[in-house]
């Protein structure tokens, strides 16, 4: 009897698939460093990454989606462009400083965002890219960031339409930020990502984007064992800077008058 030859397949060997997936993950590091340029302050170098497990406040899962109706863009094409033009989709008044290698596993970016809408002082922090492939990429926050979080940016097909998605699993990093979340900062954070998704969709050709938001509090407990995260807080240093700005301005003006 003639042996039956196996049918050729295009499926890559399992070990090749594993290697490919491994390449998409960042290698573990003890302390962060960055090649990002342009930021006036670097509050990330020398810090560690922290996720929602190490946060203080209640844990939230937030999902923001927008359908790219009327476009022929594939998920892979969307993610490629999202990575390349990531800073351009943020709402005005906020700046993202990408690392030299772009959004790639292990890279660390810096940013400066408005801590309070309309405030002249901005909060500086950053993120580490812990995963990136053709259909998604994930950020993790460092010590000092207002949130202890994972943020995953992805794209997928729903029928004939490509859908862009941001999903965050987050806790506020310390009691001070948790208080601001209770007083309205939680909703301000939502509006930031809703605005980002709307900007992304418009850039891809969607005239009137509709952003969907699903927000779930998955753990209402506050983790008091992480109360000392407050010692790293750039949010607090920013708040102090905002409150003392008028005093510093008056001092500089007074000094200038005396010199004249």
Domain CATH code at residue 133: 3.30.530.20
pLDDT digits (tens, 9 = 90+) for 214-236: 999 999 999 999 999 999 888 76
In a domain, 62, yes or no: yes
Q: 164 phi and psi, to 5 degrees?
A: -95, 145
In a domain, 9, yes or no: no
In a domain, 35, yes or no: no
Cα 252 from Cα 121, distance rounded (Å): 17
In a domain, 20, yes or no: no
| pLDDT number for residue 123 | 85
Residues of the chain whose pLDDT is less than 70?
Answer: 1-20, 116-121, 236-260
| pLDDT number for residue 3 | 46
Which range marks the domain in which residue 133 is found?
41-221
In a domain, 250, yes or no: no
Cα 40 from Cα 239, distance rounded (Å): 17
pLDDT digits (tens, 9 = 90+) for 135-181: 999 999 999 999 999 999 999 999 999 999 999 999 999 999 999 99
**pTM reported for the whole predicted model:** 0.84
For the chain, the domain total comes to 1
In a domain, 240, yes or no: no
């Amino acid at each position: 009897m003639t042996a039956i030859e196996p049918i050729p397949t295009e499926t890559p060997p399992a070990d090749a698939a594993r290697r490919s997936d491994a390449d998409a993950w960042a290698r573990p590091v003890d302390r962060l460093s960055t090649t990002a340029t342009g930021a006036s302050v670097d509050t990330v170098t020398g810090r560690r990454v922290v996720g929602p497990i190490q946060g203080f406040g209640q844990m939230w899962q937030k999902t923001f989606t927008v359908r790219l109706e009327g476009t022929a863009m594939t998920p892979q094409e969307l993610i490629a462009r999202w990575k390349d033009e990531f800073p351009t989709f943020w709402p005005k008044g906020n700046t993202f400083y990408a690392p030299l290698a772009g959004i790639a596993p292990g890279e660390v970016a810096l940013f400066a965002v408005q801590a309070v809408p309309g405030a002249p002082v901005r909060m500086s922090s950053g993120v580490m890219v812990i995963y990136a492939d053709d259909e998604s990429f994930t950020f993790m926050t460092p010590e000092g960031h207002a949130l202890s979080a994972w943020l995953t940016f992805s794209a997928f097909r729903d029928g004939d339409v490509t859908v862009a998605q941001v999903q965050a699993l987050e806790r506020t990093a310390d009691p001070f930020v948790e208080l601001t979340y209770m007083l309205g900062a939680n909703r301000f954070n939502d509006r930031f990502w809703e605005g980002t998704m709307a900007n992304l969709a418009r850039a891809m050709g969607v005239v009137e984007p509709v952003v969907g938001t699903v927000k779930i509090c998955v753990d209402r407990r506050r983790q008091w064992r992480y109360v000392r995260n407050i010692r790293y807080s750039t949010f607090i240093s920013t708040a102090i800077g905002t409150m003392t700005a008028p005093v510093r301005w008056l001092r500089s003006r007074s000094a200038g008058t005396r010199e004249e």
